[in-house]
A = this chain, B = another copy of it.
Amino acid sequence: MVDNIKDRVTIYEVAKASGFSLATVSRVINNQTNVTEKTRKKVEETIARLGYKPSAVAQALATNRSTNIGVVIPRANYVYISNMVNGLTEAARDRGYVLSLFVTSHSKDEAISAMNKVITSHVDGAIIFDDELDVEDAQKISSYQVPVIAVNNKVTGDKVACLTFGYEHLLRDILRDYFQNGDKKMYFLHVHNAGRLLARIERAFVSTHIEDNRNYGILSCDDSYSKTYLDFIDFFKTTKSGYFLAYRDSIAAAIINAARDSHLRVPEDVEVLSIIGTKYANIIRPTISSMYIDMQLVGHKAMEMLADLMEGKLDRKQIKVESTLIKRDSTL
């Protein structure tokens, strides 16, 4: 076993113990070919015996590559973010990279400080999925020679590429289809400060209604299940029907539960569509129709783009992932 009193074993000690030079040991570590099989064996044996592990820090300094990827996100525990992170970790691992997490907690200050840390951290590349950061920030970081993939943010530049989400198109289709066949007034659940994505979708909602000369409603709500539930218990005292577009499953569930508790039928009286659908949309009764993007896949794609960008062989610098409609029981 390993002696745990002393400091880490270094390449020097391996060299000395094996009777070879630093360079040779280094070659063995890095699987270089120009080493005799005999030498390699001996060195590997001493490495195993001493329990030597190369220091990624020293390697990074020497090679100017850290094999670290920075990931900037507002929080780690939103379902769609953690799904993306999981996709990223898998794809990163397959390529030999390690992820470093930088969370911004939805504040601009934290976001700026996160960006600075990303730069000092000497990551080989970064994935940024954060509404607090805008085009300038992404470009700033790339001016430090850090290739960046911006998620949900249209940015381009020398070492910057982006992966955006396509919701508007699908939303317009859904709305126009509903204009044909549906009869309820449509409401958009506005959440204050819920970010660019929701804002964009809301704009699409509004403009489609205006273009088609339709009446619509915007309802402000809290990004919390309980609060929204209570608000809608109130709302349904006077309003007895409607088609509601909610940001996430939990908000959609709040509306559904409030509707039912107000003796309204879903979807006959009240229809609900969740914009960011997760697997929970399928568990809640009635199941919630939703727009869906596979965020694990997004993670994989983003990592793939980043790897290509780092190697300078990324051709398409803008990729759009389209959402799909998953029709369930909360809509007709």
Interface size class of A (residues with CB under 8 A): 35 or more
Alpha-carbon separation in the docked complex, A82 to B78 (Å): 8
Q: Which residue of B lies closest to A85 (CB)?
A: B76
Complex-state Cα separation, A61 to B105, whole angstroms: 30
CB distance from A28 to the nearest CB of B (A): 15
Of the candidate stretches A51-59, A179-187, A314-322, the one touching chain B is: A51-59
Number of chain copies forming the complex: 2
Is A31 on the interface with B (CB-CB < 8 A)? Answer: no
Interface contact A120-B90, CB-CB below 8 Å: no
Q: Which residues of B contact A122 (CB under 8 A)?
A: 55-57
The proximity string for A residues 70-84 relative to B, scoring 1 for CB distances below 8 Å and 0 otherwise, is 000001110100110
A residues 174-220 touching B (CB-CB < 8 Å): none
**Is A21 part of the contact surface with B, judged by Cβ < 8 Å?**
no
Structural contact, B77 and A144, CB atoms closer than 8 A: no
Provide the bound-state CA to CA distance between A102 and B257, in Å.
39
Bound form: Cα–Cα A1–B68 in Å? 18
Additional 9 contacts, C-beta under 8 A, given A76-B82, A77-B83: A53-B119, A55-B61, A56-B121, A57-B57, A77-B296, A90-B103, A93-B110, A100-B101, A225-B283
Q: Which residues of B contact A56 (CB under 8 A)?
A: 120-122
Question: Taking A103-B90, A145-B6 as contacts, is the C-beta distance between A79 and B76 under 8 angstroms?
Answer: no
